[in-house]
Amino acid sequence: MSKSFINYSISAEVISSYDEVAINNKIDTEAFGIISDLISNQSMSEFGFEEDLKKYGWTAEDKNNNGQTWLGYTQPQFAHTGNGLAINIPNNKMNVDDWIFSNPLKLRANTRYRVVFYLRKFSEKPELLDIYLGNNATSSAMSTVGASKIEANPDGKYHRYAYELVPQAQIAYIGFAHKVKGKKWLMLWLWMMLDLSMQL
């Protein structure tokens, strides 16, 4: 078996009804999002967190309910490339349990996909990230485990991480969970891309 990774332009579909725009602009803002179509061979989707996350279908969940979770952050000197990144700055009062979910991805079921992301952390204390796939952008829907307890490199610089995910359904979301036990003041940075792993 060999694998091939070839760049491919992003195919996106806007899920927004213009009828809804006229009715209620706020509802339209909530509904606006894109599907990344990764059905064809050699397809690839990159997201550099350059734009408003919500507008591009990215969402976050504050599972430990402390008012802090992942958010988009525009600051070139902190980004892996470009201007944007996703960041989580939990407080220091409880265990960390914060999730960020990709926009909807149109995938081939039972096909191996590779998710590539860049991660760095702010403090010297351990920082852990889990990756999942699920059919909804909520922590409870994240049924497929991609990788558990990925530890951010202690040198505080960006490092590249790559894992394989095999979706069970055609529309799926990637979930990244920042989960650490103990009282900490920590920070995780995320920048990601995704490609289709061909099975030849």
> Which stretches of the chain bind Ca ion, using CB under 5 A?
62, 64, 66, 68-69, 98
**For the CA atoms of 61, 34, 171, 114, what is the dihedral angle to 10 degrees?**
-80
Residue 134 CB, shortest distance to Ca ion, in Å, is 19
HSE at residue 75, side-chain half, CA atoms within 13 A, is: 9
Instruction: Count how many residues are written for the chain.
Output: 200
By beta-carbon proximity to Ca ion, the closer residue of 66 and 197 is 66
**SS3 of residue 97 by DSSP:** strand
By beta-carbon proximity to Ca ion, the closer residue of 152 and 172 is 152
By beta-carbon proximity to Ca ion, the closer residue of 28 and 62 is 62
By beta-carbon proximity to Ca ion, the closer residue of 64 and 83 is 64
Residue 189 CB, shortest distance to Ca ion, in Å, is 16
Residue 62 CB, shortest distance to Ca ion, in Å, is 4
> In degrees rounded to 5, what are phi and psi of residue 52?
-60, 125
Residue 16 CB, shortest distance to Ca ion, in Å, is 29
